Amino acid sequence: MFDASTIELSTAALRNNIAFIRQALAPGTRLCTVVKGNAYGHGIGTFTGLARRLGAEYFAVYSAAEAYQLQKNLAQGVAIYIMGDVDGPALEWAVEHGAAFNIFELDRLSQAIRAGRAQGKRARVHLEVETGMHRTGIPSQELPLILESCKTHADAIDLQGICSHLAGAESGENHLRIAAQKLRFQEALAMAAAHGAVPPLRHLACSAGILNEPDTLYDMARVGILHYGFWPNGETRQHYMEVHGLKEDPLARVIRWRSRVIAVSTVPPGGFVGYGNAFQAQRETKIATIPTGYAYGYSRSLSNTGHVLIHGCKAPVRGMVNMNCITVDITDIEGVEKGDEAVLIGSQGGESISVASFGDLSDQLNYELLARLPHAIPRVVVDQHP
């Protein structure tokens, strides 16, 4: 209630992106929708509800805390998979509620066995093997012991998957490292098979993997950023569009972030706008105030450089981004009034503000900027963006 801004999620855009991802997957490859980081800032509850209605049925999060949030939001019949942080009581909760999780060390496997026994349920686990990412993963010399343990404790352990994560499949410069990872993953699968373990879900690919490394598809792909309508990076976009002869971006942005004008004022020539002397008006300047500052995820680095859309025109940010508001130049936009919509990310009247221009021009920052959008901003679903 009384919110300063709202994030809108487009049903049409997500439907488009899911169709794009599915055509890139092999027919037998399952799609796992990655919704970590508050669904890349889109809002985990609202986004997964929407994705669910569009047919998504397998969701990956990083932590048990996110899984807990999902489990409360989603209807039955949806699979939840925790890729990273789950231990102690959280792990017991995961076993109780049938959430799958990664095993990358013996200690966690022991916990899973204990929890499964105690509850008379089989813990659903995926073995995350080390292939070269060097973050979490079972080193190959420990894999036989863990495989044996899974077999011995099959009453408490349901081995559903074997997986690993590619360390930078979006860039050609990582080609050798990725090639080595693919090889190590195959070796791990062979080792598992030698121990009689052929879990139904072998998975290695993320967004960049499905586009650049089709031989990493296996049984499932864990796809995040493409769902939201962003490419892993510019190189991947360019390469994909060139190879497929595309002129227009096949992805559509799901997010649109809007606020409104709360005040309009006039600054005489020579007057300064906001704190200090960051911006001095060279001419009589009309300023609109938008109640969204760095406390709401609008970065201070956009001081004097960002833009918002009002009446379908770009209005430049003047002066510093404040904690709770920004001031934008509307001198050249006719008839702006208090209450008019201001778009911070997304389109309005044929113009659009991309996340990249909203922040830095680097694509890697898309992930970061999106994930930093505050949880407190309300998220709503719309049919499509204007």
Ligand X SMILES: *Cc1c(COP(=O)(O)O)cnc(C)c1O
Active site residues: 36, 275
Stretch of residues binding ligand X (CB under 6 A), selected from 106-114, 139-147, 201-209, 294-302: 201-209
Question: CA angle at residue 16 from 14 to 19, to 5 degrees?
Answer: 110
Among 24, 44, 83, 320, which residue sits at the site for ligand X (rule: CB under 6 A)? 83
Lay out the site mask for ligand X across 146-165 (x = CB under 6 A, - = otherwise).
Answer: -------------------x
Q: How many CB atoms lie within 10 A of CB 109?
A: 22
State how far the Cα of 321 lies from the Cα of 298, in Å rounded to an integer. 8
128 versus 158: smaller Cβ distance to ligand X:
128
95 versus 208: smaller Cβ distance to ligand X:
208
**Applying CB under 6 A, does 207 fall inside the site for ligand X?**
yes
Task: Report in angstroms the alpha-carbon separations of 84 from 199, 253, 312.
Answer: 19, 27, 42
298 versus 367: smaller Cβ distance to ligand X:
367
Site for ligand X in 36-65 (CB under 6 A): 36
CB 18, min distance to ligand X, A: 13
State how far the Cα of 345 lies from the Cα of 323, in Å rounded to an integer. 18
Residue showing the smallest CB distance to ligand X in the complex? 224
**Applying CB under 6 A, does 217 fall inside the site for ligand X?**
no
Task: Decide: helix, strand or coil at residue 21.
Answer: helix
Note the helical H segments in the chain: 11-24, 36-40, 44-53, 64-73, 88-96, 106-119, 143-152, 175-194, 207-212, 234-243, 355-358, 364-371
264 versus 356: smaller Cβ distance to ligand X:
356
As separate numbers, helices (DSSP H) first and strands (DSSP E) second, the chain gives 12, 18
Site for ligand X in 221-240 (CB under 6 A): 222-225, 232
Q: Rule CB under 6 A: which residues touch ligand X? A: 34, 36, 83, 165, 206-208, 222-225, 232
